[in-house]
Amino acid sequence: MFEFLKAKKPAPKPAAKPPVKARLANGAKPKPVVALPPEGEAAGRSEEDRRRSMLVRQLRLSLIKSLDKPEGRKAIVKALQRMMHQDEKTAP
């Protein structure tokens, strides 16, 4: 009647695979890594554009995280001042 209350036996765990190095030493070949073609808006862009947008995204996330800390804000202000100073030097 109350069979659903009885403890279920855990499913048996599959045997663990040996580490990759051990498998390769035994003669197994590594699986080739296949890059998937880009989808959606990234389909028409070059590899360099995709890489640049990924770097911009990472930089934006790190800036957002560092804005929460006062020392991060100071470092950002210093970096921006350095960039502006370099622009003044190179301006015609």
pTM of the full structure? 0.32
Domain ranges of the chain: 45-92
Is the pLDDT reported for residue 15 higher than 70?
Answer: yes
Instruction: Kindly provide the b/e burial profile for residues 4-31, where b requires at least 16 CB atoms within 10 angstroms of the residue's own CB.
Output: eeeeeeeeeeeeeeeeeeeeeeeeeeee
Q: List, for residues 42-77, the tens digit of each pLDDT value.
A: 566 778 888 888 888 888 887 777 777 778 778 878
Residue with tokens 């911009």: 56
User: Would the pLDDT of 1 be above 60?
Assistant: no
Residue 89 identity:
K
Q: What is the mean pLDDT of the chain?
A: 73
